[in-house]
Structure 1
Amino acid sequence: MGDHLLKYKLLALDMDGTLLNDNHQISPETEKWVLKAAEAGVHVCLSTGRGYNEAAPFGKQLGLDTPMITANGSEIWKSPRELYRRELLDKAIIAKMYDIAQEYGIWFWAYSVEGSYNETNWKPELLERNQWVKFGYHTEDDGIRHQLMLRLQDLGGLEITNSSPYNLEINPAGVNKASGIRTVCGLLGLDMSETVAVGDSLNDLAAIQAAGLGVAMGNAQIAVKENADVVTASNNDDGIALIIRDYILS
């Protein structure tokens, strides 16, 4: 089947809670259908909040040589070996977000080009030295999470999402998986109407709204399901395989 016959030519896949099951693995069935899509000429693009080093091995497992979106869109890779664009967070903002984590006594993580950091390996001198692409907080306390949201909104210039109901993920304003997919479409000469975006969390919402076909996993957060064109099976039940079979290759 020639790819010119396909309605959808780009499949953008979130990883955690979507491509990966709860054991953080790609099931054999999902892998089989992703490979079928790639063989049919679909560009399969990993689109993740993970940093490059935590995402690339799964692209390699699937044999993908296509573009990749990492750190929620702060990094766009033309191929797994070639960076196309990177958007950095201001160092002063990182310093403020770190201070807020200390103030509330909550878990944080910070992704930089040079490595990823949290409470266990943070050093003040990293702040000036590193190039920062994403910051995150985790707390199961809804009240604290709400206060964090308000504090972050006050800082301004930030894109605030999540990758689970208990965390917040912070990128530069306007940087998200939808902006990432638009950039990838530009690289591949595709239109947004030719894309399928699949995900489960608020960091997938913009992409699901912007794509030609927006798909929420069965395990997705309610706001994501409400904004999707289709809700598929969960990440433990090969939800992606069903979408490839029924919507992309049918």
Structure 2
Amino acid sequence: MTPAATPQQTARPMHFTAPALIACDIDGTLLRTGHPASRAVRTAAAEVRAAGHHIVLATGRSLVGALPVAVQLGLDDAWIVASNGGTTARLVDGHFKVITEHPVDAEAAIHAALRVTPGVRIAAEVVGDGYLVNIPFPDSRLNGQQHPVRQLEAFWAHPTPRLAMLDPAAYRIVPQLRALGLTAIATEADWVDVTAPGISKATALEAIRVELGVEPWDTVAIGDGENDIEAFHWARQSIVMGHAPKHVQSEADRATGTIDDDGAASALLSLLS
């Protein structure tokens, strides 16, 4: 893997042998959290799709949070990887169908988290709806409805593909969760995403690649966070946003501009010959 390049290098086009699979992170990549995608990003996405390529949203968001972005981008026939690979869905003509769900061991994860940070906020995704929560989260931190639970047992009464944990010291939970074999990523110091063992954006993207019949060398991943690193390694070409942390930038083939520069639009357009 070559070191991340400068944003100016994104003008170099790739030459695909067939329609490509282009995996795009959402928050910090296609848009700034809480804001719609810019016109530049929407236009670039439309041009890439018009060229016959597949844009797959690959996000840590829940499915209910990813769907509005698909609508903004005009992805009326598209695949979505949600919850860091915990859920895969197909969107056709405004309707979605969940294709795969990988349940996480919520009971083990929650007990481990509470031993480290007893006051941690916990959210368990309810696919297509929102979350069960022990303590309400700030509205801007979760997509969909929040359903308070009185007993911890409610978290594992039904399968969930993803847990989110919020606490100023949430990062301290990660080693305990990984010791259980779970996939745990501190996307921020106060936020940890938990999914089933071996599950990532990359595992979900590989299944979609096979389903679409895309060759391994016709794959691209664009992102900005730690949860994009495995997707970078999976893709033939990986492009990191210019504002990404240095350790994330070092995992990608090249860099594009920042979110303020519409770096994702530049990256998408650079893929067209």
Aligned to 2:79: 67
Contact 2:112 2:176 in 1 (8 A): no
1:153 partnered with 2:168 = no
Partners of 2:70 and 2:116 lie apart in 1 by 32
More helix by share: 1
Residue of structure 1 aligned with 2:105, choices 60, 78, 90: 90
Contact 1:101 1:108 in 2 (8 A): no
Aligned to 2:26: 15
1:130 partnered with 2:155 = no
RMSD of Structure 2 on Structure 1 (CA): 2.1
Aligned residues: 240
Partners of 1:138 and 1:127 lie apart in 2 by 16
TM-score (ref. length: structure 2): 0.80
Aligned to 2:239: 215
- Higher RCO (CA 8 Å, separation ≥ 6 residues): 2
Aligned to 1:249: 272
Residue of structure 2 aligned with 1:56, choices 50, 67, 92: 67
Residue of structure 2 aligned with 1:109, choices 114, 123, 127: 123
Contact 1:108 1:135 in 2 (8 A): yes
Aligned to 2:140: none
1:6 partnered with 2:16 = yes
Cα distance, 1:231 vs. partner? 1.1
For 2:121, give the aligned amino acid.
Answer: W
Cα distance, 1:173 vs. partner? 1.1
Matched residues, percent identical? 26
Cα distance, 1:98 vs. partner? 5.8
Structure 2 residue runs without a partner (length 5+): 1-14, 137-147
Partners of 2:16 and 2:157 lie apart in 1 by 46
Structure 1 residue runs without a partner (length 5+): none
Q: Matches of residues 201-240 of structure 1 in structure 2 within 5 Å?
A: 201-240=225-264
Q: Which runs of 4+ in 1 moved over 6 A?
A: none
Contact 1:164 1:201 in 2 (8 A): no
Partners of 2:227 and 2:189 lie apart in 1 by 11
Please give the per-residue CA displacement for 1:221-248, whole angstroms capped at 9, x wherever unaligned.
Answer: 22210010011111221111111222x1
Contact 1:87 1:133 in 2 (8 A): yes
Q: Matches of residues 17-32 of structure 1 in structure 2 within 5 Å?
A: 17-32=28-43
Cα distance, 1:99 vs. partner? 3.1
1:194 partnered with 2:223 = no
Q: Aligned to 1:133, what secondary structure does the other structure show?
A: coil
Aligned to 2:143: none
> Is 121-130 or 37-46 further displaced after alignment?
121-130
Partners of 2:67 and 2:183 lie apart in 1 by 24
Cα distance, 1:96 vs. partner? 1.7
